[in-house]
């Protein structure tokens, strides 16, 4: 049993970018799985007001900057769309740039780990908030919350380096399997990490997915985490090798069928922090400023008030991002 006082101490420690012990990680992850299994559905209902956040990617000091802008949990209710934790090489940064020339609730769209230098501290801090204040923060699964991806893009290596074994990585991966696939704010704003799927026409179909598994290589669950909107008609093959590209007609039909007003997603670097498409029916929110410490982009969060009125707050990278960055020689070959 993780007590509130113990959680408060762990949160204070993690806010200082200091990892907690392996035993504490194990207990935290067990409690998180219990909460996620019992209290959260595949599509979690969220009441407004809420603050929606995009990819974090292990940029810990920028996460603290996000909290300065949006308010600290539990004062603000957050919805995170994912937060990856690995580092990009120079090749990937070039590709990334060229590809993207009252109390409030927060939602995060996934990708908490990989590409940043502090994926462990980033994910564990968000998880500690989830356990301590389960009704004040929602964590949606991203495509990087997967065993296969984290072994390639840095989270596994970071866990090994900081803890000396793969145990913490395994505990976190077990939590990934329980993260919700999406959320709907007041029944009108659908939140997901990636996008839509040709196999999903209604939110009820998402509710029937068995989410407690490793991310499949194809199918509806894979598409929700990997797909992207594009200026095409209908569906197209994704250059990512997973998920699909989908056009305005697909978005308009999904919004109409499910009586929605907006789809909020993350998954793609946006130099301006957010990007609206298709008559403002879908928005990409990106919350990792100066991505990989070199892209030069700003970040943003989306605030929805009690009437679902949207406001975007942009912010720059925190000064701490320039401190203590370890040398890296990794040159990954594609942008996820």
Angstrom CA distances, 235 to 75, 219, 244, 250, 260, stand at 41, 14, 7, 8, 20
Residues 6+ apart with CB under 8 A from 18: 121
Which of 57, 107, 144, 193 is the catalytic position? Answer: 144
Residue indicated by tokens 């000064």: 319
Query: For strand 189-191 and strand 182-185, is the pairing parallel, antiparallel, or unpaired?
Result: antiparallel
Does residue 274 have an active-site annotation? no
What distance separates the 2 farthest-apart alpha carbons in the chain?
A: 54
Quote the CA–CA distance of 253 and 201 in Å, as a whole number: 9
Taking alpha carbons only, the member of 312, 302, 297 closest to residue 98 is 297
Distance of CA 244 to the CA centre of its chain: 19
Contact 86, 112 (CB under 8 A): no
Residue indicated by tokens 């913490």: 168
Contact 313, 54 (CB under 8 A): no
Helix and strand element counts for the chain (H, E): 11, 15
Retrieve residue 31's tokens: 């409690």
Give the number of other Cβ atoms within 10 Å of residue 101's Cβ: 5
Q: Can you point out the beta strands (E) in the chain?
A: 43-46, 50-53, 78-85, 105-114, 137-139, 182-185, 189-191, 228-229, 235-237, 244-246, 262-265, 274-277, 282-285, 299-304, 310-315
Enumerate the active-site residues. 144
């Amino acid at each position: 049993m993780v007590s509130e006082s113990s959680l408060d101490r762990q949160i204070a420690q993690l806010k200082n970018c200091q990892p907690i012990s392996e035993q504490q990680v194990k207990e935290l992850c067990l409690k998180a799985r219990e909460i996620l299994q019992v209290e959260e559905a595949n599509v979690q209902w969220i009441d407004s007001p809420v603050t929606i956040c995009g990819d974090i990617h292990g940029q810990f000091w920028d996460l603290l900057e996000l909290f300065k802008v949006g308010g600290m949990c539990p004062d603000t209710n957050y919805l995170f769309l994912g937060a990856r934790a690995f580092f990009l090489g120079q090749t990937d940064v070039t590709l990334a740039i060229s590809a993207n020339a009252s109390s409030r609730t927060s939602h995060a769209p996934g990708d908490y780990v990989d590409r940043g230098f502090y994926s462990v501290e980033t994910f564990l801090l968000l998880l500690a908030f989830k356990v301590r204040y389960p009704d004040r923060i929602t964590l949606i699964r991203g495509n990087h919350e997967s065993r296969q991806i984290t072994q390639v893009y840095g989270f596994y290596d970071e866990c090994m380096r900081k803890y000396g074994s793969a145990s913490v990585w395994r505990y976190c991966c077990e939590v990934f399997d329980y993260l919700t696939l999406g959320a709907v704010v007041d029944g009108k704003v659908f939140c997901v990490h990636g996008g839509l799927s040709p196999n999903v026409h209604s939110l009820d179909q998402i509710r029937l997915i068995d989410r407690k598994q490793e991310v499949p290589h194809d199918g509806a669950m894979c598409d929700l985490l990997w797909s992207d909107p594009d200026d095409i008609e209908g569906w197209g093959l994704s250059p990512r090798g997973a998920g699909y590209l989908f056009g305005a007609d697909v978005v308009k039909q999904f919004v109409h069928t499910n009586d929605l007003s907006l789809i909020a997603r993350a998954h793609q670097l946006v130099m301006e922090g957010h990007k609206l498409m298709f008559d403002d029916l879908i928005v990409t929110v990106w919350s990792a400023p100066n991505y990989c410490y070199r892209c030069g982009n700003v970040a943003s969060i989306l605030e929805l008030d009690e009437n679902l009125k949207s406001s975007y707050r942009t912010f720059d990278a925190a000064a701490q991002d320039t401190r203590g960055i370890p040398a890296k020689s990794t040159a990954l070959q594609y942008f996820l």
